[in-house]
Amino acid sequence: MPDIKKSLDGQIAVVTGAAHGIGLAISRQLAAQGARVVMADVLEEAVSASAKTVQTETGSDTLSWVGDLSREDCVQALLHATLERFGKATILVNNAGGGVIRPFLEHTPETLRATIDRNLWTTLWCCRVFLPDMISLGYGRIINIGADSVRNGLWQHAAYNAAKGGMHGLTTGLAREFAKHGITVNTVAPCAVRTVALEKVQEVNPAFADQVLEVIPMGRAAEVDEVASMAVYLAGKSAAFVTGQVISVNGGSTML
């Protein structure tokens, strides 16, 4: 059988927060399109198991990497591990994150810092550390996973939105600054996504889960693969003229 060319053959993708949920779905879809994928997370056992699963399912080479990506030294180590194994990084998906979701005045200094660290600092350091290599290649795709709650001010999401809104803002500035280097920078902004975390909220606080879901005209949470497919589109060569965009995958919960 002749090899069938896949759309991301030859590409090297780094996906942060890839142990489970949306990051795992993105890694799986990128690998299915032929990309070799570095899957990074703080959760050692989970990310190592997920990387093995993706490699077995898709036949694409994966590398699992463990560390706290809100620290510059760890992100430098991730870059070195990527270059050592694959020689370059052409796609960066800033998916690490997750919210401490609660009414604003119930936050503590620790939960506020954790919210910014997980979402915004991981993204800032990854962009800063991976961009020089993309500039030298004259090619790159950066995809941030933001949040549609930035657009609709969802209940209990103010601090989380401060972090995700920072990611949205970073997107436009980086897109302008690096467009001439063949690098695109975009954000995918999901509404509530059907993950283990959402199922837990539905179990322990069904009233809040209803509040989050009732803003979605389609009447349900997104599936992880529905978010991943937008990220994979933006990672491809056919999205070459799409940059600086925040694209919602939200069942219509905000429009335009």
Ligand X SMILES: NC(=O)c1ccc[n+]([C@@H]2O[C@H](COP(=O)([O-])OP(=O)(O)OC[C@H]3O[C@@H](n4cnc5c(N)ncnc54)[C@H](O)[C@@H]3O)[C@@H](O)[C@H]2O)c1
Provide, rounded to whole angstroms, the least separation between the CB of residue 191 and ligand X: 7
The verdict on whether 233 is a catalytic residue reads no
- Do residues 10 and 61 make contact, with C-beta atoms less than 8 angstroms apart? no
Cα radius of gyration (the chain): 17
22 binds ligand X (CB under 6 A): yes
For residue 174 the two structure tokens come to 């980086």
Provide, rounded to whole angstroms, the least separation between the CB of residue 244 and ligand X: 19
134 binds ligand X (CB under 6 A): no
Q: Which of 121, 125, 160, 178 is catalytic?
A: 160
Identify which of 165, 190, 170 has the alpha carbon closest to the alpha carbon of residue 247: 190
Of residues 34, 97, 140, 166, which one binds ligand X by CB under 6 A? 97
Provide, rounded to whole angstroms, the least separation between the CB of residue 75 and ligand X: 9
User: What end-to-end distance do the CA atoms of the chain give, in Å?
Assistant: 46
198 binds ligand X (CB under 6 A): yes
Residue 68 three-state SS: coil
* Residue 59: exposure state from Cβ atoms within 10 A (0-12, 13-18, ≥19): exposed
Provide, rounded to whole angstroms, the least separation between the CB of residue 102 and ligand X: 15
21 binds ligand X (CB under 6 A): yes
19 binds ligand X (CB under 6 A): yes
Identify which of 80, 167, 77 has the alpha carbon closest to the alpha carbon of residue 117: 167
Count, residues near ligand X per rule CB under 6 A: 29
Bridge partners for 36 per DSSP: 12
Active-site residue set: 160
In the complex, which residues of this chain contact ligand X (CB under 6 A)? Answer: 16-17, 19-23, 41-43, 68-70, 95-99, 118-119, 122, 145, 147, 190, 192-193, 195, 197-198
